[in-house]
Each structure stands twice: as structure tokens, then as C-alpha cells.
Structure 1
Amino acid sequence: MATQGILRSRRSAAQLHALVGVEREIRSYDHAGGRKYLRDFRDAYRSYEETLTPDQVRDEIVSSDIVLVADYHALPSSQRYLASLIRDPEVYRRPVVLGVETIFSRDQHILDEWRRGEIEEGELRQRIRFDFDWGYDWTPFYELLSAARDHAVGLYGLDCMPREDLRKIGARDRHAAGKLSEIRERHPDALILVLFGESHLAPRHLPAQVRERLPEEHMLTALQNVDALYWRAAGEQADHVEAVRVADDVVCVFNATPLEKYENYRLYLNRWGRDETGAVDLGPTVYNLIDGLVRFLGINLYSNHNTTQPRLLVDLMPEVYSRNSDALLRRLLSRKGFSASQRRMMLQRVHERGSAYLAPLNTFYIRQFHMMSAAEDAARFLHHACRGLPDRVNGKIPEPRTPHDAFFAATIEHALACFGSRILYPARPAFRDADLLARYELTREDLEEQTSLPYAEAIEILDFLNWHRASTRKPRERAAASDWSTVLAFTGRKREYLTQQLGYLVGNDLYDSYIEGRVGPAVLRRLFLTHLEEPNAAREAYASLNSRLR
């Protein structure tokens, strides 16, 4: 069994490579990182006592009087985590009050008007000057406000001016603590949930001010995604640690990775620096994810030969379309000769996942940025680029593949995409044989919704996958053989779903083997470089990979 240090290194390697460029760009925009107030937060939370489950964290929260929840403003999951707590029946069995840093206490009357239904969302956003005075994503914050309107007995703004002057930040902590004291007088029996910027939650900052004013209160600090704690937890045996106990009165939950956190912040800094409120440029984000994988695999971007390295990978970088319309994507695909059914399938992929790498165009099309999907697409691109972009449409007609070659090439692509996603985004949930078997427990409606297939076809695919996986694990004890000719004749969504699910299973096997030390970067690099477009290459590569992973 690998030691904590080895596990931490293996799980973190690709993400740390990708973080280098992000942090460099953030430092070029944001020069406040070295201020003592911010250092106090980083220095306070470096280790933890034990891992926790989400239910244990919820129990800690429910048993508290005041919970200070850390907010990383640029990360939507920070606000959505608290919204999910407020919606949890176990939490709102007692009266709940929400206080937020985002809204000045001077604007409480505006918030009250919205809660009473006197004004609409748009007017609320405008009158509290959300875009001018805050500037982060409105949608997750409004989801939080809506959850509080539905389930809380009180909703309060806690902040005051000036926000931009770190020399006065202590005054803001004292002001917020005073407002919480007033809220306790109004709601003596309520659980008070507070969302405030993470740097305010260093022990000597807002928590100390609240304790001074409300010494009898049982207060809990709930951190989110603290870097030092995340990297330390990466050494645990579990696939993904969801929470830890830092101290008796401090917990930390993990709902995002450091790379995801800082990429979101970098996007805001980039937008603010260009004084734009429209679509952001996601090109640097995509290129950074690719670079993280390239460095992890030991690939030379500038190699001029194509043997153990891809030839001049730097010249094959994809075009990136950020948050453009469906009409633009349709035009792009139409100009390249894609059929109506192919266009519909690609549009569906973008809608389902937020983004897609379109190999025939060597293009990323990003409608909505999700780290897991973007990381998967980065791995797809690298797999194609390492082979010289064989599927790119450049006025040439690709050589037709046999059904076997097409099936196994698609499966391996999904496997490498899944593996790359887990390397860059370790929070991606694992997908193993037990998860496949759990699909049989879904209702007919849920299975059809999850697979986008008729029930009978979904069951047919599950049956084949379970047979195939069992036969590769115990080849001498094969069950009755499935009809490969039928499987290879699958088309459209049915074929895509089968190769995707099989690929994800193999990709998770590959990731597990890497974490266990049975597969290293050199072997992985050769997989990315394998020319699957050659006759029988995909089938042989799949058989070899399965043999290695068994």
C-alpha cells in the first residue's frame, strides 16, 4: 500500500503543473496576496485532526448556534454549498437565519422588499449594486437568497464600507459581529448561518469578534476548499475526502479543487482587467489544462520528430470558442459538411456537458465552463494531437474504419479522457463495476433519463458491459458469449453510450493502476501516442491495456 506522501504526489502531480501558470497570472493582477490579514488565514489552517463525512459535518452545523461559512467569492460551489444546507430538511427543522457579506446592511430595506415579494430579482440586483459593488456571478448567489427566502426565517446583509481598503478590514469584521449580535436578539432560538469571505475567518478576525460579543454561543467555523488542507487530504487512502475536522470548532469541506478555484478567480481578474461584463476568454484556461497534462506525461511541445514524442505539438493547439451561440456552432459544422444528425449529436454533447472538443475541427466549443468536462476535453485533444490530429477535416476524406477498429478507438478515447479528467480533477467521482451494477436498481424513468435511451436498449447495453467486464476479469470462467456482431452494429446514441461507459470503466481502472504505482507516466504517454487509426491498432491496444489492468 502506498504511503500518504506517495499518494499525495500521484494525485496532485498534474494539477500542480497546471496551477503554476494560473497562479503566475493571478499574481500579475492581484498584488494583495502578501498582506498580513490574508496571511493570517493561510497560516491558521495547515493541518487537520480527522476526516469527516458530509453527514458528520451537517450534524456539527445543526448542533451549533452560529456557523461562519467561508466563501471563496469566485467559486459558485461556495455559495451553492450553503444553499444546499439551507434546503436540507435536517437543517431547517429549527429556525434558520442567513447573513451575507455580499449585501451592505444599509441596503436591508431593499432585501426586505424582495423577501416580501414587492420587487423582482432584476430590481434587487440593480438596487443593491451587485454588479458594481460585488462583481462576481449573480446566479449562485441568487440561488442562495432564494433558498433562504423559502426556508429561513430571516435574511440579512452584514457588510459595510469600505471594501477595497485592507487597512479598514478589521472595522468590517467588528461591524459584522455587531450585526450578528443584533440578529441574535431578534431570533434567540435560530441557527444563524453566515457567509463571509474566507480571509475573514482566521481565528483572530471575525470569529474572535463574534466570540467577544456572544461568548455563550456555540460557534462553528466551516471552511471550504482550503489549499493546505486539500493537499494534505490527497494523501488519504479514500478516493476523495469530502471534509475534515481542523479543530473542535472548525471543519473544512471540499467541493472544488485548487485548480478549479483559481481558474475561476483568474477568469474574473481577466474580465475585470479588460473592463468587460460579457463572455470571458476561456482560451488560456483550456491551454493551461492541456499544459498540465503535457507536463505530467513528460511530453515535449517542441519535439520535431514523431516517435516517442508527438511532432511539434505546439503547432496543433486547438481553437477555442467561449460561450457562443448554438447558431454559430451549427454554421461551423455545416461549413465542414456535417450531416443534420451529426450536428444534433454534437449540439447535444455541448448542452449536456457544457463543452466539447470537436476533433474534426480541432476546436473547443465551451457553452458553460465546468472543470470536470473541460479537463476531459483537454485529454481528448491531447490524445488526438499526439497522433497528428488524424480526424481533422482538411478537405480530405478519412479512411473508413472497420466496426471493430471504430468501436475500440472510441472506447480508448473515452478511457483516456476519463483518466485525464481524474488526473486534473481528482474530485471527479469514480465509476467502477459496482456503480455499473447499481444502474439496474434505477427506475425505468430514471434509467431512460440518465442514458437518453429507451429502457430496453439501456438494459441491453448494461447486460453487455457486465458480461464483458466479467469476461476480462476471469477469462477462463466466461459466461455465455454476448453477440459482438450485434454490439458492433450499434449506431448513434446507442453506440456512443456503450463506448463511453466502457471507456469510463477502463479509464478508472487506468487511474487506479496509476495511483497504485502499477502504471507510470511513460506507459501513459505511449497510450496517448498510439496511432489507433491504423488497421487493427485500436483492437490490439484495447486488448493489451485490459491485460495490463487486470
Structure 2
Amino acid sequence: MRHSMRASLALHLALFRRQRAQIARVVDGQTASFRTYEARFRRRTSGYRSVTTLPAVYQQVQAADVVYVGDYHTLPLAQETYLALVERAQASGRRVIMALECVEGRHQATVDAWRAGRITERSLLAKLGHGSGVWSNTRTLLSFARKQKLEVVGIDRRAQGERSLELRDAYAAERIARAARAPDRPLVMVLVGQYHVAPCHLPAQVERALGTETRKGLVVYQNAEGVWWRLAREGRVGAAEAVELADGTLCLMNASPVVCQQSFLDYLEAEAGDAPLLDRGAAERFREMSALIGRLAGVPVGRSLDTVDVATAADGDVLARIQRRGRFTQAELTQLRRHILSRESSYIPRARVAYLASLSLNHAAEEAAHFVRHCAVGDAMDAPRGASEAFYARCLEEALGFFGSKLVNPRRTCLGVAEWAKRFGESRGVERQIAAFVLAHKATEAEAPEEAVKLLPLRKDRLFHGVSHALGYLLGDRLYQAFDSGQVAKAEVQALFRDPFVDPRAAYFAWAERLGI
């Protein structure tokens, strides 16, 4: 048991580091001052003094004058937790003010007009200029404020350059202090990015802005990484709802750092029409989509839905769960571990496990289609094959997965040949190799299928999976277009879902010719 816990923790930590590097590659603006700012936060949240309870946290919130709640902007649970604290603050009987970083101070009059019902939500959105993903979180906060008749204070301002964090904190501090020094001593609930709430950052600026007036501040972090990993090493994750740090600050524990990272990566990678799933509802949505795809494919999935296990990256024991549900060699487990670290979703037929690496509607729908396919053909889906047969079988399975996801989200897109040509010119390493194989195969498969077969990457590595994935998506996308326009009949799709692919190479080329790609 202890060995299993250590293995799960190691996998979780490896995934965290992999995703942190991925985020660092896509996020610009990490100046020297930002790195210093981040380092001060990490030093203060590297461990904890004692475990505490939620009722104890609520007591401290009600006794404070200014509560700084750390936010992870792309994680809806972070905003939900903040609103739960606001509700507890209201129970104190004091006037409560919501001070929000997601609203710039220059838009204060617009927000006030919306809260008063003088302008529409569409007008508010146009003024605030939020993207759809972040807007949904902002909308939740503002809707709560209007329903509860709470004052909202926008505390952010635009700033760039080395001093941007300092300038933003100073601006926010002035607006928070102005609200806090009101004669009736309101309880100001601040929601701002996690790094800002470190006592030496925004709280210190607010103290300076208050001058001779004193107000009691309280810092409430959410899921600080240093604290979470220490609890994980001690085997206390899940048992500790909240902890107190050495400087008297508090930290709520409701999501792992991996889940927080994934919410950000999902936001960056969201495709047209895609939508994030709430982790708590991922399994239910997976089952709904499986039933929908199963009906169209003519595959009864009702009884099988009771036996499928839906796992997400939030589940620290995912590899152990897969191992328990299927017989795997050590080499296969190593491959599964590598796959989990690659942040790719998958359906593992032998274990009847759908692993959702991303809480994305598209990814969940794709794995639901793979599950339906397994219900249709059983062990044939995972049958041992020669190298080229395995390649084309995977192309076809990927095509059915993408097709199924398009049934759920018709707006989903995939890279076309032109985009692969562009990627070939712009990328390096394995990504460039994948693009080269995809382009070469597409160029020869119509005129000379036998020559195309000679171009396959046959070793089951990143190249094999990347090329079969890309070719499968292209086929699945075209299959959906042909089905949607009536060129492919429903009966043909149902037959394809039930095809055991005895000769996957012939089936791939037949469908490629049939669909004209």
C-alpha cells in the first residue's frame, strides 16, 4: 500500500513538473521582477505549521476587516470557494464588499450601472473585454454580487514592464483601503491572483495606503504548491481541508496543483466550441456522451456504462487503478505511465478505463467514442497485430474517436494538410518529423498505396502515435463531413463501428478513397 502511494505521488509530481515546463514555454513576460515576486511567494508557502478546520477558517474570516483570497483564474473551483467565503462573511452581519482583480478600476461605473440594471450583460461584457473562458468566471462573481446586493470594487489596472506588479499592487491597495476605511468598518473580501496575496505584496501595500488607520487583514491561499506537496508526502492530502502557515496565513486545500495547471492549459488549448468539464461531473458527462454516440452507432452501451471507470489527472492513483483492472506487463505499465505524462487522454480497453488528461468536452467525447467502439467489437479492438496493421488500425480507431467527438461538438477542428505543411516549415525535432510523415503519406496514398505503406514509422514511439493520430483525425473529420452532408449513410457508420478491422490497411485505404481525401 505504501509503495502504491509512493508510486502515485511520483507520477503526480512528474506530471506537475512536465506541465509546469509546458506552461513556462507558452507564458511570456516572465521578467526578473516577476521571478523575484514569485520566489517571495514560494518561500512563504513552502510548508505549514498546523492543520486546521473550515469552521476555524470561517471564524477568522468573520473576525477580519480585509480578507485576501488567492485566486487561480482558470479554475472555477477557486472562484466558487471565494464565494463560499463571502457567504460566511455575510453571516457576520457586517456590510460585505467584493474587491475583484478581474474588474479593472476604470470600469467601475460600468459595473455599477449593470448591478443597478441600467445596462445589459452584453454591454458589460463588451466594456470589460474578457475572453469567453475567463468571462464565465467573472460573470459568476458579478451575478452573485448583484443577486446578493453586494458592492463590487474593481481593483486592477493595466501595467507593463519591470514595475508592473508593483504598480498594480499599489493601485489595488488604494482602492481596497478606500473601501476598508469606511466608518461602518465593512468586511472587504479581496479576490486576486495567488502571488499577490503574499503578506509582503498586496497586504503590505494596503497597510501603507491605510496610513494611521488600522484594519485587521487575513490571507487565505488556495492550494499553494509547497503546502500541497508536503501534505502529499505525509499522506495527508484529502484529510486536511485547510492549514495554517508559519506567519499565521491560511491555505485551503481543495484541488491538486496538477488540476490547477490543467485548468490553465485547457484554457490555452481550448478549440472552437470546446468547453471545460467540471471535474466533479466528468464521469457523468462521459456516460451521457457514450449513450448519445452509442445510439447513433447502433451499439447498446447501457450495461457496460456501469463497469467503465472514468479517471482524471485529479486522481492520484490513476495508474494503480488501471493496473488493478487489467493484466499488464511491466513494459506496458511503463508505456502507460509515459502516456499519462504526455498529457493525452486515452481509453484502455483491457482495463475498461477512460483516462481524461484534460477536462475538455472534446477529449471526453473522443474517449466516449472509443468506449462505444469497444462495446461493439470487444477484444478485437486490442488484438495483437503486425507493425503496419497496428499503425492503420490505430488510424481507424482515431478516426472513429474524432468522428464521435464531432457528433458532440460539430465545431471541433483538426489540422488539415495545409496546416501540417506550415508546421513542417516552422517546427523542429519530432514535431517536424511527424509533419513530414503525414505530408508524405497523404501525397502518395491515393496514387500509390503500396508506396505509402513504405513510409510508415513502425516502432511504437512518439512518431508512430503522432502520425497515426494525425492521419486518423483527418479521416475522422472527413467522415463526419460526409455523414453530415448525407454522402455517408448512418448504416455505413454503424457498420464501421462494428468492423473488427481484420485487414486495417485495406479498410483505411478504402475509406480514404471513399471519402476523397
Structure 1 length-normalised TM: 0.52
Kindly report the root-mean-square deviation, in angstroms, between the aligned alpha carbons of the 2 structures: 4.1
Q: Which runs of 5+ in 2 are unaligned?
A: 330-347, 353-372, 381-517
Q: Which amino acid aligns with 1:102?
A: C
2:349 paired residue among 389, 402, 413: 389
Q: Is 1:338 the counterpart of 2:299 in the alignment?
A: yes
- 8 Å Cα contact 2:4-2:320 kept in structure 1: no
Aligned to 2:106: 106
Which whole-Å deviations, capped at 9, do the CAs of 1:345-403 have from their partners, x for residues lacking one?
85xx8xxxxxxx969xxxx8xxxx9755898699459835849835764875779xxxx
- How far apart in 2 are the matches of 1:395 and 1:68? 53
Which whole-Å deviations, capped at 9, do the CAs of 1:310-367 have from their partners, x for residues lacking one?
xxxxxxxxxx99x9997x755631465423xx45985xx8xxxxxxx969xxxx8xxx
Q: 1:393 to 1:52 in 2, by over 3 A?
A: closer
Q: Which runs of 5+ in 1 are unaligned?
A: 286-319, 350-356, 400-550
Q: Following TM superposition, by how much is the alpha carbon of 1:17 offset from its aligned partner in structure 2, in angstroms?
A: 2.9
Q: Is 1:216 the counterpart of 2:214 in the alignment?
A: yes
Q: Which amino acid aligns with 1:179?
A: R
Aligned to 1:266: 265
Q: How does 1:44-443 map to 2 (within 5 A)?
A: 44-88=44-88, 91-131=91-131, 136-151=133-148, 153-162=150-159, 165-186=161-182, 188-214=184-210, 216-236=214-234, 238=236, 239-247=238-246, 249-271=248-270, 278-279=273-274, 329=290, 332-334=293-295, 336-339=297-300, 342=301, 346=305, 372=314, 379=321, 383-384=325-326, 386=328, 389=349, 393=374, 396=377
- How far apart in 1 are the matches of 2:126 and 2:323? 41
| RCO comparison, higher one (Cα < 8 Å, 6+) | 1
Q: Which amino acid aligns with 1:278?
A: G
Which whole-Å deviations, capped at 9, do the CAs of 1:22-59 have from their partners, x for residues lacking one?
22321221255572222221122222221110111111
- 8 Å Cα contact 2:258-2:314 kept in structure 1: no
Q: 1:169 to 1:110 in 2, by over 3 A?
A: same
Q: Which amino acid aligns with 2:220?
A: A
- 8 Å Cα contact 1:70-1:222 kept in structure 2: yes
Local SS of the residue matching 1:195: strand
Q: 1:374 to 1:38 in 2, by over 3 A?
A: closer
- 8 Å Cα contact 2:8-2:316 kept in structure 1: no
Structure 2 length-normalised TM: 0.55
Local SS of the residue matching 1:47: coil
Aligned to 1:513: none
Aligned to 2:473: none
- How far apart in 1 are the matches of 2:225 and 2:276? 25
Q: 1:104 to 1:228 in 2, by over 3 A?
A: same
- How far apart in 1 are the matches of 2:225 and 2:50? 16
Q: Following TM superposition, by how much is the alpha carbon of 1:91 offset from its aligned partner in structure 2, in angstroms?
A: 3.6
Question: In the comparison of the two structures, how many residue pairs are matched?
Answer: 331
What is the percentage of aligned positions where both structures have the same residue?
26
Q: 1:192 to 1:370 in 2, by over 3 A?
A: farther
Q: 1:233 to 1:61 in 2, by over 3 A?
A: same
- How far apart in 2 are the matches of 1:171 and 1:13? 39
Q: Which amino acid aligns with 1:262?
A: Q
Q: Following TM superposition, by how much is the alpha carbon of 1:92 offset from its aligned partner in structure 2, in angstroms?
A: 4.6
Local SS of the residue matching 1:234: helix
Q: 1:269 to 1:159 in 2, by over 3 A?
A: same
Q: 1:237 to 1:376 in 2, by over 3 A?
A: closer
- 8 Å Cα contact 2:173-2:209 kept in structure 1: yes
Which whole-Å deviations, capped at 9, do the CAs of 1:508-549 have from their partners, x for residues lacking one?
xxxxxxxxxxxxxxxxxxxxxxxxxxxxxxxxxxxxxxxxxx
Q: Which amino acid aligns with 1:198?
A: Q
- 8 Å Cα contact 1:74-1:137 kept in structure 2: yes
- 8 Å Cα contact 2:73-2:193 kept in structure 1: yes
Aligned to 1:20: 17
- 8 Å Cα contact 2:176-2:206 kept in structure 1: yes
Q: 1:158 to 1:394 in 2, by over 3 A?
A: closer
Range that drifts further, 373-382 or 115-124: 373-382
